[in-house]
Amino acid sequence: MIGRYSYLQVALVLFGVIFCLVYPLAIVWPAGWAWHEGAPYSSHYYMMIVGVYATLGVFLIRAAANPAENRSLIAFVVWSSLVHGAIMAVQSLQNPEHIGHMLGDVPALLLVAVVLGVLMPKKAT
């Protein structure tokens, strides 16, 4: 039977891979993953986000080997995903041309936060 710790390891690898795929996601579904017109590389801002998320993705994959030793990284991903998703949700609702994000990156970030938050190892007492 697979335990909570194993589910966390799988989630870390899965989310890490998805974070590494932000660029292709913007190509396949720009209405849900890109915040600008044109190709992903046409926005300096978007390429910065791609770089940050790809780096974070690699570290999530590495953290899967020992999640208990990477609690601070997992906590950062949980809280930053909540904040990022909330800001994007408000911006999407304020600007109808970006409403597609309510079905794309907004729920994706909230899912990351909830899953990792629930599965995150508790501090040893």
Residues in the chain: 125
For residue 35, the model assigns a pLDDT of 73
List Cβ neighbours of 87 (8 Å cut-off, separation of 6 or more). none
Return the structure tokens found at 107.
Answer: 């729920």
Please state the pTM of the whole predicted model.
0.88
Are the C-beta atoms of residues 105 and 32 closer than 8 Å to each other? yes
Q: What is the mean pLDDT of each run of 10 residues along the chain (125 residues)?
A: 86 97 88 76 88 96 96 97 94 86 89 96 67
Residue type, 38: G
